[in-house]
Structure 1
Amino acid sequence: MSDTVSFGYQDVSPEEKTARVGGVFTNVAAKYDLMNDAMSGGMHRLWKDRFVAKLKPREGEQILDMAGGTGDIAFRIARSGASVTVADINPAMLEVGMDRAAKRGLDGLVWTEANAETLQFPDRFFDGYTIAFGIRNVTDIPAALREAHRVLKRGGRFFCLEFSTTEWPGFGDVYDAYSHKLVPQIGKLLANDADSYRYLIESIRRFPKMPEFKAMIAEAGFVQVRVEPIMGGLVAIHSGWKI
């Protein structure tokens, strides 16, 4: 990893990024659903449905949902009968998820504080690894991808849902204007926190484009790496297999 990493449009030390990202998600944890609605126009719910449908979780499987603190992906996976471990580096996000699970009467999920770059789980433990709208906030993305590969069983599958760069002519300019100008204002209105929302938009712009991220997944050891653009690549589902 280089001496500096991106925190939005700023270049900071890895240690500073980890601390500042932690502060962002502590600030927005209680309003996380509203944040996703603001950044996606509410469409994140449909994208998550599609994401889990592609994962095809099955009863009896062990699935790790990384950066899944608020439970959105885990709740969808749990309907299949799979056993889900929800891991997040931020305890405030986990608290929101556990509270939401209790209100839904879901008591079979495992909740654990974990850093995607240094997972505490044993080798070849999980059948599936998911991460939705979380990988761009990781300080050392290649390290997190290597850890995902390590904890998956042979034949295990990796699925990542993340904002990317749309290739639809004209649409990218419209979304850029909306996200940079309106989303921080929405954050100020809904959560009294424009800066956190501004970082989240900037982090999307600094995230690798689809071909580059696909290559990073392959470099971590995954095979049959694929990418499915949604809305021209505004969002993308990347996947790969461990053999």
Structure 2
Amino acid sequence: MTDKQTETTHFGYQTVAADDKAGLVANVFHSVAAKYDIMNDMMSMGIHRLWKRQTIACSGVRQGHSVLDLAGGTGDLTAKFSELVGDTGKVVLGDINDSMLKVGREKLRNRGLVSNIEYVQMNAEALPFPDNTFDVITIAFGLRNVTDKDKALRSMFRVLKPGGRLLVLEFSKPQHEALSKAYDFYSFNILPTMGQLVANDSESYRYLAESIRMHPDQETLKSMMNEAGFEQVTYQNMTGGIVALHRGFKY
């Protein structure tokens, strides 16, 4: 009798048991949660705010909507969605990592955003909601950390209402070779050093750089969304393709 072969996946450039990845990713975000917002501003020179602003502009969120901000972390998108949906709407800030949720909850409550926001620890692969719950789902810089991305996309499709839309904001493949080379140098030389100086953690930021390289490129992710059931899937490259915003609808 032989042991059942263990399924594997990638954790950055490492090959690990699929069952272990969620815990490894959790350790990364437990480590970086307290400095997450500061590092985001430093790593992107503030450009992440423009990427998120474009995501909100493409979301179609309006008063009365129910929104799931998945892998919502420290709540940048949730804050704006809370204003847009108003008293008759609801925003769920969902994240698999309780450290990130705690930072997000404290930040948003300090801003006085309380009445229409719920905080739920959840796994994107098995969302704890009934079918047809949300008008809009966003996942910003979170999908690349999910172990089974296809399963997560199907789960998102299930909990979207007919007519609802999914927006995936994620690092992607730069469209120009010179930009790609410069981006690689920055990611693997500057970024871990910055992480060590600011967050006292170079390894977590090295993983983040590696996880970006292992994430599906623009066309592959578009195909994955189509296979999960989404229609009219499009994407918009930003900052030369360093980031892409994918959008798909459920009909």
The TM-score range, normalised by the shorter chain, is over 0.9
Q: Secondary structure at the match of 2:189?
A: helix
User: Could you tell me which of 106, 113, 129 is aligned with 1:106?
Assistant: 113
The whole-number CA distance in structure 2 between the counterparts of 1:215 and 1:96 is 34
| TM-score, normalised via structure 1 length | 0.97
**Aligned-pair Cα RMSD in Å:** 1.1
1:155 aligns with 2:159: no
1:58–1:133 Cα change, 3 Å: same
User: Corresponding residue for 2:94?
Assistant: 87
The whole-number CA distance in structure 2 between the counterparts of 1:120 and 1:64 is 12
1:39 aligns with 2:43: yes
Query: How many Å apart are 1:168 and its aligned residue?
Result: 2.2
User: Corresponding residue for 1:142?
Assistant: 150
The whole-number CA distance in structure 2 between the counterparts of 1:78 and 1:56 is 13
Corresponding pairs, count: 242
User: Could you tell me which of 177, 196, 217 is aligned with 1:209?
Assistant: 217
1:61 aligns with 2:65: yes
The whole-number CA distance in structure 2 between the counterparts of 1:133 and 1:220 is 19
The whole-number CA distance in structure 1 between the counterparts of 2:40 and 2:169 is 13
The whole-number CA distance in structure 2 between the counterparts of 1:38 and 1:6 is 27
Mapped contact 1:5–1:17 kept (Cα < 8 A): yes
Deviations 1:20-52 (A, max 9, x none): 000000000111112322432221011101111
User: Corresponding residue for 1:78?
Assistant: 82
Q: Secondary structure at the match of 1:239?
A: strand
Query: How many Å apart are 1:3 and its aligned residue?
Result: 1.6
Deviating above 3 A after TM superposition, structure 1's stretches of 4 or more consecutive aligned residues are: none
Query: How many Å apart are 1:16 and its aligned residue?
Result: 1.4
Query: How many Å apart are 1:237 and its aligned residue?
Result: 0.3
> Greater CA deviation, 71-80 or 191-200?
71-80
1:26 aligns with 2:10: no
Mapped contact 1:38–1:183 kept (Cα < 8 A): no
The whole-number CA distance in structure 1 between the counterparts of 2:49 and 2:156 is 24
Higher gyration radius (CA): 2
User: Corresponding residue for 2:229?
Assistant: 221
Query: How many Å apart are 1:79 and its aligned residue?
Result: 1.9
Mapped contact 1:64–1:85 kept (Cα < 8 A): yes
Mapped contact 1:39–1:179 kept (Cα < 8 A): no
User: Corresponding residue for 1:186?
Assistant: 194
1:12 aligns with 2:16: yes
The whole-number CA distance in structure 2 between the counterparts of 1:153 and 1:162 is 23
Deviations 1:81-140 (A, max 9, x none): 242111111110000001001110000211011100011100011101100000000011
Query: How many Å apart are 1:169 and its aligned residue?
Result: 3.4
Give the letter aligned to residue 96 of structure 2: I
Sequence identity (%): 48
Q: Secondary structure at the match of 1:80?
A: helix
Q: Secondary structure at the match of 1:143?
A: helix
User: Corresponding residue for 1:168?
Assistant: 176
Q: Secondary structure at the match of 1:170?
A: helix
The whole-number CA distance in structure 2 between the counterparts of 1:65 and 1:133 is 11
Mapped contact 1:49–1:76 kept (Cα < 8 A): no
Deviations 1:200-222 (A, max 9, x none): 01000010110001100000000
